[in-house]
Chain A
């Protein structure tokens, strides 16, 4: 029982990070309807900028984290303004945007590997202090990951409910032309989408790297985790993304408990394939009228 509780607790911590990835990825996928692979590039850029600020410039960690998040957000925005937006204006299909995004991802991974090396970089050295509540043990970093992850998710949900611009972003994926003829600021909404998505990727990346470090190739894993959570939960439901992240984290924890962490990818993609085959609209998507499909 204690072991199960500990696994559930670990799953909730992982789900907080997965939720950040799901919201970050889902924001672009839901509003722009294309697979933003370069999300994985932004993910690594943020943490490597923190490393550059602390190691190369000797800055303390908190301002370095702020710099990392800022650079990640600006990077996402630049990707849109220099690649996606011009391509869309030229009539590019989602497939073309996908290839362009893959190109950006490969470019960034190689650049980071060239500048910082391929080996794992550690942000925090030493052993993390740990606490216990009853029989449950958790580290300081797990507590930070849990708190930051869920608070950000909660704020985002409030934003969707209260902020008209975020509602507009939500609408953009369903009715992109309507958003323009209602006089909503299309370019500004794109800016919000890409900066916010990149900031969320950066937050997940830094929180993870503070715990286990980073190498230039982890971006793809992060991207796929976010994408699977969104698709499994349902692209059109915000809480579906979070539900997808939770299911993924819980099943991975059970797999670790029963088998080994080596089987995590099998779990991730097994759920994805099962969902696509049995309920392609996602587990939490509401029923749609035929006209909406």
Chain B
């Protein structure tokens, strides 16, 4: 589905990704983890075209999309949840969903909204509320709902549990699983710091450190017993 080959990327003069290669295949739930500054979010930005790589290629369904603008990548089937500023606070919940569905109109737009609200049914009563007034969990649900409006084939999630209580975070994960079932999302790649929350969900774990992939495993469950060890490395370095 999505394959990144030898990606080198910079912010200004600072290199973040050093020849990073990874693949998200159909049917996979990939968990991308690593310490702060490892390049996880940068990697997602390169895949979605928000950041142009200095070197390397991004392939989606076998096609080279490296030079495509973000807008075209999104319309080709990539859904991307930003870590922050992922809803428009100044407009209503309903208007946010309409924006997520762009360029859908009329009956199709209404049907998509209906589908999304089936997953996040607690938003049904808040359609005319200003999105900025929603609680943290509701905001994150709306943000995911906006991404789902286009029925993406692949979902890239940048810390969906950020700022949420453990209960709200686990609910969000359940909603994501339900969306995958109902909407036929073929693969998900999630960047997440909260390993306790995300490891049981994943089918593959990729560990990124210093802009390089240091470990890829198809048995993420074996890391459940090593969460504290991993978190120590992520938050305090490999001392």
Residues of B within 8 A of A186 (CB): 69-71
CB–CB B98/A288 < 8 A = no
Q: Is A80 an interface residue (CB 8 A)?
A: no
A181 touches which of B74, B105, B130 (Cβ 8 Å): B74
CB–CB B91/A181 < 8 A = no
Q: In whole angstroms, what is the CA distance A191 to B98 when docked?
A: 21
CB–CB B102/A183 < 8 A = yes
- Interface of chain B residues 126 through 165 with chain A (CB within 8 A): 130, 132-133, 146-147, 150
| Residue tally, chain B, CB below 8 Å to A | 29
Q: Is B103 an interface residue (CB 8 A)?
A: yes
| Residue tally, chain A, CB below 8 Å to B | 24
Residues of A within 8 A of B98 (CB): 164, 167
CB of A97 to closest CB in B, whole Å? 19
Cβ contacts B85-106/A at 8 Å (1 or 0 each): 1111111000100111011010
Given A164-B103, A182-B102, A183-B75, are A177 and B50 also a contact pair (CB < 8 Å)?
yes
Q: In whole angstroms, what is the CA distance A171 to B130 when docked?
A: 13
CB–CB B99/A164 < 8 A = yes
B70 touches which of A170, A181, A292 (Cβ 8 Å): A181
Q: In whole angstroms, what is the CA distance A165 to B98 when docked?
A: 10
Residues of B within 8 A of A286 (CB): 130
Q: In whole angstroms, what is the CA distance A167 to B109 when docked?
A: 15
Given A178-B86, A289-B132, are A184 and B102 also a contact pair (CB < 8 Å)?
yes
Given A164-B98, A168-B99, are A178 and B87 also a contact pair (CB < 8 Å)?
yes
Q: In whole angstroms, what is the CA distance A159 to B82 when docked?
A: 28
Cβ contacts A207-221/B at 8 Å (1 or 0 each): 000000000000000
CB of B73 to closest CB in A, whole Å? 8
A182 touches which of B69, B132, B146 (Cβ 8 Å): B146
- Interface of chain A residues 247 through 293 with chain B (CB within 8 A): 286, 288-289, 291-292
Residues of B within 8 A of A182 (CB): 74, 99-100, 102, 146-147
CB–CB B74/A175 < 8 A = no
CB of B166 to closest CB in A, whole Å? 20
Q: Is B48 an interface residue (CB 8 A)?
A: yes
Residues of B within 8 A of A291 (CB): 132
CB–CB B82/A178 < 8 A = yes
Q: Is B80 an interface residue (CB 8 A)?
A: yes
CB–CB A184/B132 < 8 A = no
CB–CB B103/A288 < 8 A = no
CB–CB B132/A167 < 8 A = no
Residues of B within 8 A of A181 (CB): 48, 50, 70, 74, 80, 82
CB of B215 to closest CB in A, whole Å? 28
Q: In whole angstroms, what is the CA distance A292 to B91 when docked?
A: 12
CB–CB B133/A289 < 8 A = yes
Residues of B within 8 A of A178 (CB): 82, 85-88
A171 touches which of B50, B88, B150 (Cβ 8 Å): B88
Residues of A within 8 A of B88 (CB): 170-171, 174-175, 178
Residues of B within 8 A of A164 (CB): 98-99, 102-103, 105
CB–CB B150/A183 < 8 A = yes
- Interface of chain A residues 216 through 262 with chain B (CB within 8 A): 236
Q: In whole angstroms, what is the CA distance A182 to B48 when docked?
A: 11
Q: In whole angstroms, what is the CA distance A38 to B230 when docked?
A: 54
Given A178-B85, A183-B71, are A167 and B99 also a contact pair (CB < 8 Å)?
yes
Q: In whole angstroms, what is the CA distance A164 to B91 when docked?
A: 12
A236 touches which of B69, B70, B90 (Cβ 8 Å): B90
Q: In whole angstroms, what is the CA distance A247 to B73 when docked?
A: 46
Residues of A within 8 A of B70 (CB): 180-181, 183, 186
Residues of A within 8 A of B130 (CB): 286
Q: In whole angstroms, what is the CA distance A32 to B87 when docked?
A: 17
Given contacts A170-B88, A186-B71, 8 further A-B contacts (CB under 8 A): A164-B98, A171-B88, A174-B85, A178-B87, A182-B99, A184-B71, A184-B99, A236-B90
B interface, CB within 8 angstroms of A: 48, 50, 69-71, 74-75, 80, 82, 85-91, 95, 98-100, 102-103, 105, 130, 132-133, 146-147, 150
Name 10 interchain pairs, CB-CB below 8 A, sorted by A. A168-B99, A174-B90, A175-B85, A178-B87, A179-B99, A180-B50, A181-B80, A183-B71, A184-B99, A236-B90
